[in-house]
Amino acid sequence: MANKVIYAVYEDPELLKDGARKLVSNGIKVKDTWSPFPIHGIDPIIGVKRTRLAIAAFMFGITGTCLAGFGIWYFNIFDWPMNIGGKPSQAFYKNLPAFVPVMFEFTVLCAAHGMSITYLIRNKTLPGMPARNPDPRSTDDKFIIEVRTADNHGHSAEAITGLLRETPVFEINERQY
Amino acid sequence: MHSEAAIREPLILGHKTYHDITQDIVGPIENKAPRGWYVLITIAGLIALYGVGCIMYLLSKGIGVWGMNKSVDWAWDITNFVWWVGIGHAGTLISAVLLLFRQKWRMAVNRSAEAMTIFAVIMAALFPLLHMGRLWLGYWVFPLPNQFGSLWVNFNSPLLWDVFAISTYFSVSLVFWYIGLIPDFATIRDKVTKPGMKKVYGILSFGWSGNAKAWTRFEEVSLVLAGIATPLVFSVHSVVSFDFATSVIPGWHTTIFPPYFVSGAVFSGFAMVQTLLLIMRKVMKLEAYITVKHVEYMNIVIIVTGSIVGVAYITELFISWYSGVEYESYAFINRATGPYWWSYWAMMTCNVISPQVFWFRKLRRNFAFTFFMSIIVNIGMWFERFVIIVTSLHRDYLPSSWNMFHPTWMDAGIFIGTIGIFFTLYLLFARYFPVLALNEVKSILKVSGESYKKEAAKHHHH
């Protein structure tokens, strides 16, 4: 039997959530959802794990702080200490207040760009990448649930569409793949 | 579903569906631009070209063509720099600070305000680079190994902090803006029919697909970027103020500068947002999305920050007398009664007195009056920077080196030129980019849309 992918199209995020709850409570695995804006509360229903991007941002930020601190120490304390107005650069800790702004800015720079690059790579969104949404209306006004028969061996495609028809669905499309 | 108090004014007027929102924003991009757009971009483009010409002339002759002299060695260039950076601040305030405060009204204005930020910071960065005289050696501001220059850069200097602050601010704002744009470019990609446009917006959208996990990440990245952009935006104008506050020039050497500069920046930035949006809502027919309530909210920000600026001016004046330092007192007496008295009183009138009229509800909800006021505030804030820079420098400790600053055609030409470049960039943005954050506006439609609110209120009463 060929594997099938079923797309249930809804007109409102709340209706989509009703549909997803119905499927999940009947033991059907929802592959993904596609929507023009974030559907709040869909993640726990279909089992999407929390993203760890914020942790990545923190790591990038800390790296930035350390790099800036090390760099400034090397440039202004170690390699070429300057005597400015009788206030020589002798030790990192003595000059630290003056180094705070650049260390802060560099922390933000690394955290923001590190996180953004990680985000783009993890989402597979980079220049020239192909779009993967199944229906062009999903970036306009339609909210789509994707179910694959390959993920749901106990259920036939007919049974799944039958369940979906009990929900306030707008249309159901099936495709072979 | 989250619902909102009926007493709150709707943020989207009339009855709109999700598709209507897409249509209202993508339609103008797909169709021919209105005649007004061509007229505006021609004017802005000509002014921009004039500015580019002036810049070329300056680069070929050196900065002696500016009116600066040995006493007044910072003048219009640094005034323009601070003015443009300040204008940029409103965009970040709207997109980052108001996101953290969960202010839904920001969603209709954040995209264009952020675009304004980016273009304003580009204009700002131009001035210190031109002031260096040798633009092609501009990269010397970065800590590069010795064969590029003679020494390492000095990390004790606020001028260097500024380099890091402005470059971080620019690049982070750009990334924040673009990450928000990606899903909207995807909407345009899926909507347009012309193959060329489809291809271009396909590349710009980076293949965005809008699956559940991508949206979770999108919200996380927006929140964290807002969280780090908030202290960043406050740091940027604080650092700009350190350029002045850490030097021992009378009128500059004050601890009040960082908060005073930051609120002044937000004040002028919101004025510029009003100038741009009041035109755009008419030309692009966004009346349903940028409503009188949005304008009123922004006017409230203007009155709050304008009052902070007013208090700062008066505090400065009081402290100059109370300190008992004669140089400091003279600097302020000279500002108010010296040869540049007119610029001081222009600043006082435009920034302190005039925004107080927004206490009247009728006036802060009036589009024409708001537009007029936004121009007044922009002028006032330019004069504030002129007053701080020129009046402090032209008469400092040694009367033998007292001098006057007279602007030349190049001072004026480059300043007006940057306004032309700024508007050219902004008009191109308004024509080809989604001017509303589509994905965000759609997400509040059923909560804050007028027809949906009325519907909800009806159910509530039964």
B361: in domain: yes
Question: What pLDDT, in 10s, does the model give residues A20-47?
Answer: 988 888 888 888 999 999 999 888 888 8
Give how far A151 is from chain B: nearest CA, Å. Answer: 17
User: What is the reported pLDDT for B2?
Assistant: 64
The answer to whether residue B9 is domain-embedded is no
Residue B457 lies in a domain: no
Name the average pLDDT for chain B.
90
- B249 within some domain: yes
Q: Which tens digit of pLDDT belongs to each residue from B50-79? A: 999 999 999 999 999 999 988 899 999 999
CB contact under 8 A, B220 and A48: no
Q: Do B208 and A101 touch (CB under 8 A)?
A: no
Express each pLDDT in B242-289 by its tens digit.
999 998 888 899 899 999 999 999 999 999 999 999 988 888 888 889
Per CB-CB distance under 8 Å, the chain A contacts of B206 are 120, 125-127, 129
Q: What is the per-residue pLDDT for B142?
A: 87
Say if A166 is an interface residue toward chain B (CB within 8 Å): no
Contacts of A51 in chain B (CB under 8 A): 213, 216-217, 220
Between CA B453 and CA B438 the distance in angstroms is 20
- Residue B256 has what pLDDT? 92
With bands split at pLDDT 50, 70 and 90, how would you rate the model's confidence at B148? low
User: What is the enclosing helix (H) or strand (E) of A157?
Assistant: helix A157-165
pLDDT value for B305: 93
Q: Residue B308 is part of which domain span?
A: 18-143+151-451
Average pLDDT for B161-179: 94
- Asked if A115's CB is within 8 angstroms of B221's CB, the reply is yes
Q: What is the model's pLDDT at position B1?
A: 54
**B337-391 per-position pLDDT tens digit:** 999 999 999 999 999 999 999 999 999 999 999 999 999 999 999 999 999 999 9
> CB contact, 8 Å: A108 with chain B?
yes
- Determine what percent of chain B is predicted with pLDDT higher than 70: 98
E strand segments, chain A: 4-10, 32-34, 83-84, 87-88, 143-148, 171-176
Q: Flag whether pLDDT at A90 surpasses 80.
A: no
If you average pLDDT over residues A118-126, what whole number do you get? 92
Q: Which pLDDT score, from 0 to 100, does residue A80 have?
A: 82
Of A84-88, A90-94, B289-293, B320-324, least confident by mean pLDDT is A84-88
Of A14, A79, A137, the CB nearest to B1: A14
Instruction: Count the domains in chain A.
Output: 1
**Residues of chain A positioned with their CB less than 8 A from the CB of B27:** none
Judge whether B444 and B298 are in contact, CB under 8 Å: no
- For chain B, the domain total comes to 1
Q: How far is A18 from chain B (nearest CA, A)?
A: 12
pLDDT at B193 over 70: yes
What CATH number corresponds to the domain at position B172?
1.20.1630.10
Quote the tokens at residue A8: 């249930």
- Is B10 within a domain? no
Is residue B261 situated within a structural domain?
yes
Q: What's the pLDDT at A160? A: 85
What integer is the mean pLDDT of A51-64? 94
**pLDDT given at position A157:** 82
Q: pLDDT higher for B419 or A128?
A: B419
Coil/strand/helix, residue A10: strand
**Which residues, at least 6 apart from B274, have a Cβ–Cβ distance to it below 8 Å?**
B295, B298, B299, B302, B370, B371, B373, B374
DSSP B458: H
Give residue A142's domain range: 1-177
Contact A104/B at CB under 8 A: yes
Alpha-carbon gap, residue B240 to B176, rounded angstroms: 22
Residue B374 and residue B378: Cα distance in Å, rounded?
6
B206, B220, B442: residue with CB nearest A125 = B206
Which pTM value belongs to this model? 0.92
Q: Which of B151, B217, B224 faces A123 most closely, judged by CB atoms? A: B217
Q: Please give the distance of CA B262 from its chain centroid, rounded to a whole number.
A: 12
**Can you spell out the DSSP letters for B268-327?**
HHHHHHHHHHHHHHHHTT-TTTS-HHHHHHHHHHHHHHHHHHHHHHHHHHHHHHHT--HH
Counting residues of chain B whose pLDDT is more than 90, the rounded percentage is 63
Alpha carbons B361 and B318: distance in angstroms, whole number: 32
Q: How far is Cα B48 from Cα B25, in angstroms, rounded to an integer? A: 27
Q: Give A 35-94 residues with CB within 8 A of chain B.
A: 35-40, 42-43, 46, 48, 50-51, 53-54, 57, 61, 71-72, 75-76, 79-80, 82, 84, 89
Does any domain span residue B320?
yes
Q: Which of B435, B178, B418 is nearest to B283 (CA)?
A: B435
| ipTM, two decimals | 0.92
Contact between B212 and A76 using a beta-carbon 8 Å cutoff: no
Q: Please judge whether B228 and A108 are an interchain contact, meaning their C-beta atoms are less than 8 angstroms apart.
A: yes
Q: What is the mean pLDDT of residues B409-428?
A: 94
CA A141 to chain B, closest CA, distance in angstroms equals 5
On whether the CB atoms of residues B142 and B151 are closer than 8 A, the answer is no
Does the pLDDT of residue B147 top 70, yes or no?
no
Task: Give A92's pLDDT tier (boundaries 50, 70, 90).
Answer: confident
- Check whether B462 has a pLDDT greater than 60: no
**A98/B contact by beta carbon, under 8 A:** yes
d(CA B390, CA B24): 47
Alpha-carbon gap: B408 to the closest alpha carbon of chain A (Å): 35
Task: Report the residue of chain A nearest B178, measured CA to CA.
Answer: A116
